[in-house]
Amino acid sequence: MQRIDEQIRFAAEAGLLKGVLRQTMLTRPARRENSAEHSWHLGIMALALAEYAPADTDLGRVIAMLLVHDLVEIDAGDLFVYADEEQQAQQRTAERAAADRIFALLPGGQAASLRGLWDEFEERATHEARFARALDRLQPMLANLEAGGGTWREHGVTADQVLAKARLIEDGSKTLGSYARELVRQAVRRGILAPAAR
Amino acid sequence: MQRIDEQIRFAAEAGLLKGVLRQTMLTRPARRENSAEHSWHLGIMALALAEYAPADTDLGRVIAMLLVHDLVEIDAGDLFVYADEEQQAQQRTAERAAADRIFALLPGGQAASLRGLWDEFEERATHEARFARALDRLQPMLANLEAGGGTWREHGVTADQVLAKARLIEDGSKTLGSYARELVRQAVRRGILAPAAR
């Protein structure tokens, strides 16, 4: 196969992400969100919220990471953020196998470079990865607020649990972390998020 | 409204693009494509096909442009690429009005900067815009090939018409232009694209 045929084949395979449904319920249109449009939305958020990234953050790298971060779900599916530890461990194994297969569709050097973006996102060791992860955590919170509760209501999630997950937002951006905590307080006041498990 | 509230409001409004359906029929999942996931797919293609952009192309700018290029469809809807000239003129007017409204949701400087990306894409004067436009033209061709004809069959589009539209691909990337012409020849040989109007 020619180099360009491999690249086009990778792009076609990537397109399958449009068929992977997430837990997130959209309001308009009222349906579950797929992981491709979710990834796009994170890219838009990166552009709109760039100024809240730490100084010297390479925004192009953040966005590239966001574009590829969910490709592994083509094989591994999407796991709900509140799944238990055993499910999460299984998911990590499945996602690594998926990354091995999917990025390897590209020619060698390029496969390593895009796989590197995925690894970086997972490892959360750089400013870029932490900011990308913060956006990935913030977006479903915004969707739940818009939906008047969304997956929080559906799965009986409480404010404590949301705040625990929101630590990753703080870790990527102080401002977005504070903003997220304020959103949780609002949601509790509005009665669309239970304060704590009883 | 605080600056960050305006930015979050813009991101929420942008999310409506998930509800804008394009002509393109996807194969897996078998349904029409929406403009948000389409924009994401173009970002992935930009990463995979970056080497075919002219030298000195700023890939980060190409991707940012691709992320925002269809936002105007939230108000103006998507127009089929083979619509007649009168419809296209009306569409351009509607899209400019949409751009005026949607980008203005952002704080001043940022509104101008993201609106600038949209204008740049439309004007097709820079390497970055031409490469972005090339990808935007190439992606539905790939979808039609995958679908065994797709919108070409559905609307009785011929190879001449596809080749005329493919000039924009050539204009953004010599290699992708040649590749697209080869795809058209293949489609004619496979009998999924009529050679010319009779």
Assess whether pLDDT exceeds 80 at residue B33.
Answer: yes
User: Which residues of B fall within a CB distance of 8 Å from A67?
Assistant: 40, 43-44, 47, 63
Q: What is the pLDDT of residues A141-162, one digit of tens each?
A: 999 999 999 999 999 999 999 9
Burial of A40 (0-12, 13-18, 19+ CB in 10 A): buried
Distance from CA of B83 to the nearest CA of A (A): 26
Average pLDDT of the segment spanning A61-84: 96
pLDDT at position B99 is 98
CB atoms within 10 A of CB B1: 10
Sign of CA dihedral A132, A32, B146, B162: negative
Q: Is pLDDT at B85 greater than 90 in this prediction?
A: yes
Inspect the interface and report whether the beta carbons of B47 and A114 lie closer than 8 Å: yes
Alpha helices by DSSP H, listed for A21-158, are 35-49, 59-68, 73-76, 85-103, 108-123, 127-146, 150-154
The stretch B122-130 carries a mean pLDDT of 97
User: What residues of B are in the A interface, CB distance below 8 Å?
Assistant: 4, 7-8, 10-12, 14-19, 26, 28-29, 33-34, 36-37, 39-41, 43-45, 47-49, 52, 59-60, 63-64, 67-68, 106, 110, 114, 142-143, 146, 175, 179
Query: Which among B1, B2, B10, B18 is the top mutation candidate for probing chain A, defined by the most A β-carbons within 10 Å of its own β-carbon?
Result: B18
Q: Model confidence at B95, in pLDDT bands (50, 70, 90)?
A: very high
What average pLDDT does this structure show over B55-60?
97
* Position A81 confidence tier, pLDDT thresholds 50, 70, 90: confident
B68 contact residues in A (CB cutoff 8 A): 44, 47
pLDDT at A198: 59
Question: From the CA of B17, how many Å to the nearest CA of chain A?
Answer: 9
- Do the chains contact at B37 and A34, CB–CB below 8 Å? yes
Do the Cβ atoms of B171 and B177 come closer than 8 Å?
yes
CA angle A8, A13, A17 (to 5 degrees): 130
| Contact present, A134 and A177 (Cβ < 8 Å) | yes
Flag whether the pTM goes above 0.80: yes
pLDDT confidence band for B198 (50 / 70 / 90):
low
Q: Determine how β-strand B21-25 pairs with β-strand A32-34.
A: unpaired
pLDDT at B88: 94
Closest CA to B118 of B154, B150, B92, B86: B92
pLDDT grade, residue A196 (50/70/90)? confident
